[in-house]
Structure 1
Amino acid sequence: MSDKLDIKLIDRGDEHFRVSREAFVREDVMDAEYARIFDKCWLYVGHESEFKKPGDFVARTVARRNLLVTKNNEGEIGAFFNTCPHRGATVCREPRGNAKNFQCFYHGWVFGCDGKLKSQPGKESYCEDFNAEGRGNLMPVPRFAIYAGFCFVSYDPDIVPLEDYLAGAREYLDLVSKYSEAGMGVNEGMQEYAIRANWKLLVENSIDGYHAVSTHATYLDYLKNTNGSLSSTKLEGISRDLGNGHAVLEYAAPWGRPIASWVPLFGEDGKGEIEAIHARLVELHGQEMADRMAFKNRNILIFPNLVINDIMAITVRTFYPQSPDYMLINGWSLAPNEESEWARKYRLSNFLEFLGPGGFATPDDVEALESCQNGFKNHRQVPWSDISKGMSKDVPSYDDELQMRAFWSRWNQHINGLLPEPATRGAEAAPATERVVA
């Protein structure tokens, strides 16, 4: 694969920003994305709350690699390639659980929850120092790090530290992690579904405030017609480029939030609990931050494919392409560990009602993205998608497209080999600036 693809994928001027629709349909573009983005970035693998005690594990596929993430007897979380070093069989074949050891079913090799080889049938037939250099242990992923409870892996041993990579997104991960004194936790269960569209369309959609009123009109009408579901708050806010391809929408919205925005639907008893949550946030973080945490919503993108929707519930979502026009999506609900049964009921209801694959929002989004992908069959005649909204503004609105341009600019740097050398990438921790046209 050459350093650059043979087409111009991004076209940017003073007041226009366009993306070639070939970026959504070409197999070689997807191959380049795996080689130059997914193999080179920090990728979300799980949340530390999923590993409460030694032996807790999850097995997940992250950018085409099967991984085993475990908590060892010293309380450390680590990530390993889920393949036996002997002949390659999958070692752990359960998606999650707790185990002191993992035994490969093929030849019976046994590994501890620290990945080290513990038992080897027929050991007498191997040399005495067979595992002296760890050749019989599970292979650890090159890089593993945790920030604010979010666990990441990278297949690039030379990648910058996670904190540098996250740049301005650290502020928002910190904010989400501070909702709870007892820590944030992933609720049991997950959402798994597929969309027949390119994965980058879901990136765009996840941080697109422009489509909410039109695409999700049915949901807004439902809330209007459901007594007590809405406050008088209007949709309004800003978008921010957080550096390194990360971006966020932060905005006010009329729906209720268990942290800690009350609507009449929650009832008077619920009002007292919501007010107590807000009062505690004020005590811990001050009035300004507490109001921001309670009364603002956030759609957060961590480049390339982690989306945290901190809205009427908190959804953590990743997605990977299987082909240029097909992706698999995984989603989890995140909540305060000490949350009451009452608050958890409304949170999970919101999680399923709006954000779930059978809810109000996701089917709308799936139809929109698959419609776009179908429209890309005309890419030779209609070659560009426009992402210019808000380019002339000093402070882009939540329904402008600054955040998508932040993603696409970083995507283009990766795909066309335009990134700085690793030793200088830390300088990019400050958010990028958007050119302002008077």
Structure 2
Amino acid sequence: MSWSEHDIGGLVRPDDGLVSPEIFHDRELFDFESRRLFMRTWLYVGHESQLRKRGDFISTYMGLNPVLVVRQNDGGTKVVLNACRHRGMKVCRADSGNTRAFTCTFHGWSYGLDGALNNVPMQQAAYGDALDRGKFGLVQVPRVETYKGLIFANFDEDAPSLPEYLGDMAWYLDALVDRREGGIEVLGGVHKIVHRGNWKMGAEQFAGDNYHAFLTHVSASMSWRDADHEADPNPLKPGFQYSSRAGHGLAGWRKNGMDDAPYVPSADYELVAQYYRDTAAEVRDRLGAERVDGPSLGAGNVFPNFSFLTRVFCHSSIGIWHPVTPDTFQYWRYCVVDKAAPAEVKRAIMNNMHVWPLGVADSDDGENWSEISANLIGPAVRDVPLNYQMGMGRGLRDHPRFPGIITESYVAEESHRNFYRRWREFMTSEKYPAIGADEPAIATSSSEGR
């Protein structure tokens, strides 16, 4: 099917809470999305702690585009396409490392840390004076900005600055990246998980889907629970959902429900839980009381594809949903720790991440996404819109404690509707899209604890 902008706009109807399954399946939409969305949004590419010395680099993707994030000789950071200007081959196939130059293994073209083409084998014999090396360096991504160690890049020179793009999502990010002096650092390497499904399935889940947790992940809590402890008859915990008209979202708990949970999975778990208790006063002084618990416990997503878990089962991690095909994506997850944390706490956080989510939750989620993707082969399935109506009309714009649109419930889908509202704006606009005038229904009074 050939899609027009009008057709694409009709696939997402956030005011009705309906979304067409075609956006998770159609090849032409996927190709269109690779340009309209991923060539214009701010995309996370790495953390400054991964680039400590000049020549340090990270290999990653911006949408479908392979890129290198490189610490320069002057201490700055550049992002360049990982594609040789001769035949388009990757000039680096390592995940990370340190180098003086990037050399294509096909014909040997070699590039400096800044992407400049420095050497062409047999240049005089092969080209004479015809090759202007100054015109054939690696393509540089024009926009690179950081937020408290998080490095983002953007191909669109007309896009707003990174702080403008993040908006009030930065307030919530601080509960992850700025708890203590020195911020966070990435610990260890990258964990790459290949999933069958569309990348938006993962991104929307982290943007605010607590609804799946009590059933999808029930086996983990049951296996950890004390044998003589009865199951909680009410799985809904005190929580809330944050949503941004810019497409960002987060689902959090009011307090650390893990502190009074009827199980302690391991000594590492208890060690980290005690660390969080011991540093609570410091975090309160630094960020304020509201970010000691509430927003600092849960999952979030910076539109479109940068997600994080903060203090979930005594670990924190960040990750990227990398699209591959309409029905395949990779999730790259990195462990993050407070730089000021003791070494034994850092090791325990890493160990906890290998239990949850890597050992349990990621496979649970992947099974759901793969089953959905398999169903979407059926045209009759794709003809039926999906329901995203949970919590409609219950969002608050003027919450007394939390910025953004707040739904005072552990489960809601306001952030999903705004995720796809923003997706639709990018997909139907030839230029960088302003946030439209159409707004979701908003409650006029608070309903604490619903």
- Counterpart of 2:337? 335
Counterpart-to-counterpart distance in 2, 1:315 and 1:270: 14
Change (3 A) 1:253 1:215: farther
- Superposed CA deviations along residues 6-48 of structure 1, whole A, max 9, x for unmatched, are 46312355xx411112222221221221121112211111111
Tell me whether 1:193 sits opposite 2:199 in the alignment. Answer: no
Residue 436, structure 1, aligned to residue 437, structure 2:
no
**Equivalent residue for 2:78?**
78
Q: Which moved more, 1:214-223 or 1:382-391?
A: 214-223
> Do 1:227 and 1:265's aligned partners in 2 also have CA atoms closer than 8 Å?
no
Q: Which amino acid aligns with 2:223?
A: Y
Q: Name the % identity.
A: 26
Please give the alpha-carbon distance, in whole angstroms, between the structure 2 residues aligned to 1:303 and 1:49: 23
The answer to which of 337-346 and 398-407 deviates more is 337-346
Q: After superposition, where does 1:57-72 map in structure 2 within 5 Å?
A: 57-72=57-72
Match of 2:226 in 1: 225
The answer on whether the counterparts of 1:49 and 1:149 sit within 8 Å (CA) in structure 2 is yes
Report the equivalent of 1:47: 47
8 Å CA contact 1:22–1:383 kept in 2: the answer is: no
Correspondence list, 1:308-323, <5 A: 308-310=308-310, 311-312=312-313, 313-323=315-325
Tell me by how many angstroms 1:106 deviates: 3.7
Q: Is the 8 A contact 2:175 2:292 kept in 1?
A: no
1:243 matched to 2:245: yes
Aligned equivalent of 2:327, options 325, 328, 337: 325
Unaligned runs of 5+ in 2: 397-406, 445-450
Gap change, CA 1:217 and 1:72, over 3 Å in 2:
same
Cα distance in 2 for partners of 1:29, 1:269 equals 47
Mapping for residues 6-405 of structure 1, pairs under 5 Å: 6=7, 8-13=10-15, 16-122=16-122, 126-127=128-129, 130-131=132-133, 134-206=134-206, 207-225=208-226, 235-251=237-253, 252-255=255-258, 273-292=275-294, 296-310=296-310, 311-312=312-313, 313-356=315-358, 359-380=359-380, 383-395=384-396, 396=407, 397-405=409-417
Equivalents in 2 of 1:363, 1:269: separation in Å?
26
Q: Distance in 1 between matches of 2:83 and 2:55?
A: 18
Amino acid paired to 1:391: M
- The structure-2 alpha-carbon separation of the partners of 1:141 and 1:106, relative to structure 1 and needing over 3 Å to count, comes to same
Q: Is the 8 A contact 1:91 1:102 kept in 2?
A: yes
Q: Distance in 2 between matches of 1:271 and 1:216?
A: 21
Distance 2:160 2:274 in 1: 46
1:328 aligned counterpart, secondary structure:
strand
Q: Secondary structure at the match of 1:156?
A: coil
Residue 103 of structure 1, CA deviation: 2.7
The letter of the residue matching 2:212 is H
Shift of 1:113: 1.7
Contact 1:308 1:316 in 2 (8 A): yes
One-letter amino acid matched to 2:385: W
Question: 8 Å contact 2:14–2:418 — kept in the other structure?
Answer: no
Gaps of 5+ in 1: none
TM superposition score normalised by structure 2:
0.82
Name the CA shift for 1:274/1:388 in 2 (closer, same or farther; >3 Å). closer
How far the C-alpha of 1:90 sits from its partner, in A, is 2.4
SS in 1 for 2:420: helix
Instruction: Report the equivalent of 2:401.
Output: none
1:9 counterpart letter in structure 2: L
- How far is 1:326 from its partner? 1.7
How far 1:383 moved relative to its partner? 0.7
- The answer to whether the 8 Å contact 2:236/2:410 transfers is no
Secondary structure of the corresponding residue to residue 257 of structure 2 = coil
1:41–1:154 Cα contact (<8 Å) kept? yes
Between the aligned partners of 1:268 and 1:333, the Cα distance in structure 2 is 18
Structure 1 vs Structure 2 CA RMSD? 3.3
**Distance across 2 between alignment mates of 1:274 and 1:288:** 15
Do the aligned residues in 1 keep the contact of 2:395 with 2:414 (CA within 8 Å)? no
Cα offset for 1:101? 2.2
* 101 and 269 in structure 1: CA distance in 2 versus 1, 3 angstrom threshold: closer
Check whether the contact 2:3–2:28 (CA below 8 A) recurs between aligned residues: no
Residue 384 of structure 1, CA deviation: 1.2
Change (3 A) 1:35 1:139: closer
